[in-house]
Amino acid sequence: MTTPEAPAARQLPYVLAITEALAQSMRSDPNVFLAGEDVALYGGVFGTSRGLLNEFGPQRVIDTPISESGIAGLAVGAAATGLRPIIEIMFMDFVTVCMDEIVNQAAKMKYMFGGKASLPITIRTMAGGGMSMAAQHSQSLEAWFCHVPGLKVVMPATPYDAKGLLIAAIRDDNPVLVIESKLSLGLTGEVPEEMYEVPIGRARVAREGANFTIVAIGRMLGEALKAADELAADGLDVEVIDPRSLQPLDTETIVTSVRKTHRALVVHEAVRFGGIGAEIAAQVQEEAFDYLDAPVGRVGAPFAPVPFSPVLEAEYIPNAARIAAEARRVIGKAV
């Protein structure tokens, strides 16, 4: 008697995982609505809201004027009066236009009203380079927002997390910045059809290993996993951690890994100087200094604007080869 094979897990692209999270959240809660530039008729500049206007209508899928400040201000007012807005800031670079609304209003209002105000705002935005969109459309600015009390910051690296973290953000009663990756939109992975949450503040061990830890932020997870395969040929058994949430940060999972492997490297696409990798490295050295056999390494972009030229941009953005090279450098510094 043969045992029937289990049905194959459903595969879904990152972009459709986002769309499904939006649609299911809007179906389950009439207070949820979506607003942003080109999110309705056009379906989003990256296609993440296609079909939502037809299902939910213009009262809940709202094309706004080209005014990020106005979009963010709309979200603050709507959330304060009981709605659950999802706003799309088309490119992460454009959050510079609405910093007051996000940093001084959304992040502070609950505190300044003694906990009586609830600000369930989800701010979706696309970060990162790789599409030759140049210096004003390719930045990774997550470290700015991790520094602001009152904001939560998540960076889904997989289609599974793109759906689960977005649903968790929409259900959260605090403002959450969901930073998605342009280059991940076509990435396909397992995504359950039902609604589910990926808990904000909980990291994931993406690959288990014994003698080296790589903490990979956002899209760099894929590059870190490639580097781990390359380093395996050197006899290095690499553990790869996907933080998923940067604020709050699951320091415990990262530190537990480093205490096991004794060496660590943090990788992000953002500029290396002042990036979230510096904070993670500092926390590792505070919590696990006696376990370290070498200083914590960091890989990030150079301190320069993102180039438009495809050749220069490819050199600018960290990749598996650079991650593997830095891991070897860290090993060479072992005490």
Instruction: State the catalytic residues.
Output: 68, 137
- Return the DSSP state at 164: H
- Return the DSSP state at 182: G
d(CA 77, CA 47): 27
61 - beta bridge partners? 34
d(CA 274, CA 94): 20
Residue ranges with strand state E in 211-304:
212-216, 238-242, 245-247, 264-271, 297-301
d(CA 67, CA 326): 41
The token duo for 285 is: 């050295």
Residue ranges with strand state E in 57-118:
61-63, 84-91
Whether residue 189 contacts residue 18, with contact meaning beta carbons closer than 8 Å, is answered with no
Cis before 149 (ω within 30): no
Q: At what angle do helices 276-288 and 251-261 cross, to 10 degrees?
A: 60
